Amino acid sequence: MGLAMRVIEIECSDPLELGKFWSGVLKAPIGPGTDGVHIASPGDEHSMSLYLVEERASDRPRNRVRLWLNPMQGSLADEVSRLTGLGAVVIEKRWAMESYSLGVVVMADPEGNEFCIESSDREVSEVVKRLEGDSDGPDGSTAEGLSDRVSESFSGIKR
């Protein structure tokens, strides 16, 4: 027994227009919903989906839920560039290890809903491999110590 996450709902002023943005971000088609638009990866009935609905009570403060996205290919920098091209805005950059460009970028969609993009798994594993091959890191630490710090530091900034 247990629960499975299926949908993340975001209230917004224009579900179809915001749906176009998120469709571009997730590279997934927009589908109809009963009171909004639905964005899900095609062919995978068990994956998470995004559901955008019109604001139900505009006098209520916005929910502070953030989506955390991880690049499947490429890099954090490439995704930030692509998403700003779609209309996202960079709010904050957080670094796990700035000298290795590993971190998280907090962004906002065109309606101000915040979301996070983190370094890809490939980027993290490349840094760990590089550190394991180096005898010393930029701060004089041993490769083994730096490798452990990458894992600890990076997992510490997730959510």
What amino acid occupies position 127? V
Q: Which SS3 state, helix, strand or coil, does residue 61 take? A: coil
Say what the pLDDT of residue 121 is. Answer: 85
pLDDT of residue 145: 54
**Residue type present at position 72:** M
- Regarding beta strands 7-12 and 114-118, do their DSSP bridges make them parallel or antiparallel, or are they unpaired? unpaired
* Residue with the larger pLDDT of the pair 72 and 139: 72
Structure tokens at 103: 């971190």
Mean pLDDT, range 116-139, rounded to an integer: 78
pLDDT, position 74 = 85
The residue with tokens 């006098």 is 59
The identity of residue 29, as a single letter, is P
Question: How confident is the model at residue 136, as a pLDDT?
Answer: 55
**pLDDT band, residue 149 (cuts 50/70/90):** low
Q: What confidence score (pLDDT) does residue 21 get?
A: 96
pLDDT per position as a tens digit, 8-32: 888 888 999 999 999 999 999 998 8
Tokens of 145: 């110590």
Q: Compute and round to an integer the Cα radius of gyration of the chain.
A: 18
- Report the distance separating Cα 159 and Cα 25, nearest Å: 20
Ramachandran region, residue 2 (left: φ > 0; alpha: ψ -120 to 50; beta: rest): left
pLDDT for 154 equals 47
C-alpha dihedral sign at 139, 141, 143, 149: negative
pLDDT of residue 103: 85
When the pLDDT of each residue in the chain is averaged and rounded to a whole number, the result is: 79
Residue 74 vs residues 50, 70, 87: alpha-carbon distances, Å: 23, 10, 20
Q: Are 68 and 26 in contact (CB under 8 A)?
A: no
